[in-house]
Amino acid sequence: MAPKTPTIARIWRGRTSPDKADAYERYNYEAGIKPLIEKALGVQTFREDTPTHSEFITISYWESVEAMAAFTGGDPQSIHHLDRDKEFLIELPKGVQVLRILSSHGMVGGS
């Protein structure tokens, strides 16, 4: 069976204060990213630190909108907030971006 090809990217963003960033990075990986790894075709996580906040971005890759909808329980743009997100995040995100992948070239991932 040929490997599934991602055609959809789902992008989530959240911000913490700098003093909570390291703890949130660990918590988000354990509570949010690990379960996502089991469902999505691929997952990338990013972090940008500034003097005022740390921004976290998660991009998950899906075979189709239908596959993503099965994971989210219906609306692919709905957010399932983690139990402790209110404790860490400056504000709870209201939505995610769902983008169609047009092309991909070269080395696009990390470890």
pTM above the 0.85 mark? yes
Ramachandran angles phi, psi of 37, nearest 5°: -60, -35
- Contact indicator for 99, 77 with CB cutoff of 8 Å: no
50 exposure class (CB count in 10 Å sphere: 0-12, 13-18, 19+): exposed
Q: What is the pLDDT of residues 32-62, one digit of tens each?
A: 999 999 999 999 999 999 999 999 999 999 9
Residue 108: is its pLDDT beyond 70? Answer: no
Instruction: Give the residue, 86 or 103, on which the prediction is more confident.
Output: 86
Local confidence band at 109 (pLDDT 50, 70, 90 cut-offs): low
Note down the domain range covering 71: 8-100
Is 76 part of a structural domain of the chain?
Answer: yes
CATH no. for residue 90?
3.30.70.100
Q: What angle do CA 40, 79, 75 make, to 5 degrees?
A: 75
Is 94 part of a structural domain of the chain?
Answer: yes
The count of structural domains within the chain is: 1
Is 109 part of a structural domain of the chain?
Answer: no
